[in-house]
């Protein structure tokens, strides 16, 4: 029996010719990631190990992005802890305010994640980098500590589900709609500890930003990771952004998959995940009632990239957000912010009555920059809509694409941009 993409990458990093589902291995790490919430815990755990320093100062990335710029004294203390650790260990890839961005948009942009890498991050959405053909997965802070100290991590080799993508997405359908459709189809535990492996000619009709979005939300289906084959578009992205050597792995013809699905992208419609799970999906056509909203958030590690902002600006151009509604736009990195400014996107947002924030994860996890009060509803391009995720436990989050989010901001209720 052959191996999947994920299994081939793990085998190579474990120094083995072959691995099988369920096998326990120790693999070498190409990158260890932490943020301002998870890194302080890892740093304290690492101090207990009596090691002299990190395994490789070039293979650790520390990105304060959740409560940054500091929202309060506690977050300031956390960032101080990370900053001092980075300086003490001469961490090459520490990103301070002014350089930082939302970690899962920033690291590919900086060329730190490439095909064939094994990457762990103390953040569940580390699975984003599978868009480039890397094995990347979220871990706990103690695993991050061990990774920083030793450059190795234990893994149980995951089984896999294959998603054959065919066709071309219709107007207003993006990567967010595709992954919400998949999660709605298989459920939030449908890929539990499995690799979600994407294949098929339909991938050629997806932008890199679409692929990052899809891989990002693999964890919302319970996946260990999400991974895409490396095509010309992925190679071009890596050649533009990175100086690292990359290795392209392809699944064997006789690779074993626990399940296989075929998804016709041309048949998909804009999709919204209702409270309080990403699996509670409805297409825009299935929403018959008027769902009035008080807030819209466009941004996050899922949908804060340039394509996302361009789509949102296209919808908002010449229009204004509904009276009494708050629309918050968050470019994911400084480079994206700058490009959006040069393209006039920020002007469009501001003229439409939206506010534009510095890069931050803030509202996604109920940190700041968009907390919801009791009874309020938000359409958000983020990745989770659990009870209390963005504020009060009696608030509601509806997950959607930037196009649907922007249209909803104008209408004051959940709306398809095709209806404006």
Report domain 5-264's class: alpha beta
Task: Identify any residues that bridge with 105 across adjacent strands, giving them in sequence order.
Answer: none
Q: pTM score, two decimals? A: 0.95
CA distance 344 to 130: 31
CA distance 117 to 139: 16
Same CATH topology for 5-264 and 271-419: the answer is yes
Q: How many other CB atoms sit within 10 Å of the CB of residue 323?
A: 7
C-alpha closest to that of 298 among 420, 404, 170: 404
Ramachandran category for residue 253: left, alpha or beta (phi over 0 → left; psi -120 to 50 → alpha):
alpha
What is the CATH number assigned to the segment(s) 271-419? Answer: 3.30.499.10
CA distance 155 to 193: 11
Q: Is 345 helix (H, G, I), strand (E, B) or coil?
A: helix
To the nearest whole number, what is the mean pLDDT of the chain?
96
Q: Domains of the chain: which residue ranges?
A: 5-264, 271-419
- The pLDDT assigned to 365 comes to 87
CA distance 382 to 86: 29
Helices vs strands, H then E, count in the chain: 13, 18
Task: List the structure tokens of 84.
Answer: 């001092």
- The pLDDT assigned to 158 comes to 97
Residues contacting residue 50 through CB under 8 Å, at least 6 positions apart: none
Ramachandran category for residue 90: left, alpha or beta (phi over 0 → left; psi -120 to 50 → alpha):
left
Average pLDDT for runs of 10 along the chain of length 420 = 96 97 97 96 92 94 93 94 96 94 96 97 96 97 96 97 97 97 96 97 97 97 97 97 96 95 97 96 94 96 96 97 97 97 97 96 88 96 93 95 97 94
DSSP line for 260-291: EEEEEGGG---EEEPTT-TT-EEEGGG--S--
CA distance 96 to 63: 7
Q: Is 416 helix (H, G, I), strand (E, B) or coil?
A: coil
Distance separating the N- and C-terminal Cα atoms of the chain: 52
Dihedral in degrees, nearest 10, Cα atoms 317, 323, 325, 329: 20
- The pLDDT assigned to 52 comes to 87
Q: How many other CB atoms sit within 10 Å of the CB of residue 245?
A: 9
Task: List the structure tokens of 388.
Answer: 């209390």
| Dihedral of alpha carbons 358, 362, 368, 374, sign | positive
> Would you say 157 and 19 are in contact if contact means Cβ atoms under 8 Å apart?
yes
CA distance 367 to 390: 7
CA distance 106 to 366: 21
Task: List the structure tokens of 33.
Answer: 């990631």
- The pLDDT assigned to 420 comes to 85
- The pLDDT assigned to 3 comes to 96
How far out from the chain centre does Cα 260 lie? 23
- The pLDDT assigned to 325 comes to 97
């Amino acid at each position: 029996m052959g191996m999947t993409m994920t299994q081939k990458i793990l085998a190579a990093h474990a120094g083995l010719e072959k691995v099988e589902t369920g096998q326990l291995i120790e693999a070498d790490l190409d990158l260890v990631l932490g943020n301002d919430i998870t890194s302080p815990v890892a740093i304290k755990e690492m101090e207990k190990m009596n090691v002299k320093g990190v395994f490789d100062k070039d293979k650790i990335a520390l990105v304060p992005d959740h409560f940054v710029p500091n929202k309060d004294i506690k977050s300031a203390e956390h960032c101080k802890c990370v900053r001092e650790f980075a300086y003490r260990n001469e961490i090459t890839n520490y990103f301070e305010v002014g350089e930082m961005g939302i970690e899962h948009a920033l690291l590919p942009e900086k060329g730190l994640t490439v095909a064939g890498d094994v990457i762990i991050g103390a953040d569940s959405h580390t699975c984003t980098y599978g868009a480039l053909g890397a094995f990347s997965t979220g871990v706990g802070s103690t695993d991050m500590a061990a990774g920083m100290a030793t450059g190795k991590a234990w893994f149980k080799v995951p089984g896999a589900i294959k998603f054959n993508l065919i066709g071309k997405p219709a107007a207003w359908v993006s990567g967010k709609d595709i992954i919400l459709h998949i999660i709605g189809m298989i459920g939030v535990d449908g890929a539990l500890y499995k690799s979600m492996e994407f294949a098929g000619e339909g991938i050629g009709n997806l932008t890199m930003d679409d692929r990052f979005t899809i891989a990002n939300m693999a964890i919302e289906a319970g996946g260990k990771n999400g991974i895409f084959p490396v095509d010309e578009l992925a190679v071009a992205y890596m050649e533009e952004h990175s100086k690292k050597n990359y290795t392209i792995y392809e699944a064997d013809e006789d690779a074993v998959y626990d399940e296989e699905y075929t998804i016709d992208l041309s048949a998909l419609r804009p999709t919204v995940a209702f409270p309080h799970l990403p699996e509670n999906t409805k297409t825009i056509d299935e929403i018959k009632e008027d769902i009035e909203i008080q807030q819209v958030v466009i941004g996050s590690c899922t949908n804060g990239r340039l394509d996302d902002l361009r789509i949102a600006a296209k919808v908002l151009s010449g229009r204004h957000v509904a009276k009494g509604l708050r629309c918050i736009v968050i470019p994911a990195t400084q480079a994206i912010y700058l490009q959006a400014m040069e393209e006039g996107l920020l002007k469009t947002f501001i003229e439409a009555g939206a506010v534009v924030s510095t890069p931050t994860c803030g509202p996604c996890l109920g940190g700041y920059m968009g907390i919801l009060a009791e009874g309020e509803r938000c359409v958000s391009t983020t990745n989770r809509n659990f009870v209390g995720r963005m504020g009060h436990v009696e608030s509601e989050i509806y997950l959607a694409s930037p196009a649907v989010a922007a249209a909803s901001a104008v209408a004051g209720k959940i709306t398809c941009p095709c209806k404006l």
